[in-house]
Amino acid sequence: MSDTFNPHRQFICALVPNWIMRRKELSHGAKLLYGRLAQFAGKDGRANPGQRLLATELCVSERMVRKYVHELTSNNLIEVVRSGKTESNRYQFKKHEWMDGDRNKYSGQVGTLFPVTPDISSAHEGNNVSYKENHIKENQEVSNMRIPFEQFWDAYGKKVDKTKAQNKWDRLSTKDQQRAIEHVPGYVRATPDKQFRKNPVTYLNGKCWLDEDLPESIGKQHQSVPAGFPSGGAQ
């Protein structure tokens, strides 16, 4: 029995355009990042995944993500719109002369950035799903991707009441999960002493990722506590 399969339209994937793949000016990592950002782009053409999420997706450090972003911005391929402390930066894609070169040379080939017709149907027998329909379906599936609880649990660091925390996490909307996972790194940095960090369930119930300001770093130095008051951390 053959162990081969037909990969045509079998995967949700980040598309790296041919005109990006051919450029010697870009590292492999920058090319992958471009494709992943393009997958995150919404109807307005903007993408706003956090650097931590991008690092996880590309299996690199956040420092490397920043390096790849710098490559793309220095080559005038994207621009970064800075957001506040609790929000991810927005990435916008820029038209580039490299696109025109690819169009002039490869515009007659199916599968490039500029297809012959606006609606490409599969040439394979028995597959009538159009390119447009498939693209819409993939975007919907990507936007609905849930974030595993363990990713939040490991990032948060204060491992208390895991079962309750997981039950709460599973009830969150996908959008709230994404917001939380982007907010957690900054909150953890602001509360290095775990006794001053809210318990995970408290953090989730309070939707603390919606807070406009992160708390000032606490726990690095002891504060005087009036007599009669407990000195324990936040709950």
- Give the chain's domains with CATH numbers: 18-114 (1.10.10.10), 147-235 (no CATH)
How far apart, in whole angstroms, are the C-alpha atoms of residue 107 and residue 120? 14
Question: What are 200-229's pLDDT values in tens digits?
Answer: 999 999 999 887 666 665 554 444 444 444
**Nearest residue to 188 (alpha-carbon basis) of 223, 152, 235:** 152
pLDDT at position 136: 53
Strands (E), 129-219: none
pLDDT at position 75: 94
pTM: 0.48
How far apart, in whole angstroms, are the C-alpha atoms of residue 174 and residue 194? 27
Question: Low-confidence residues of the chain, pLDDT below 50?
Answer: 106-132, 220-235
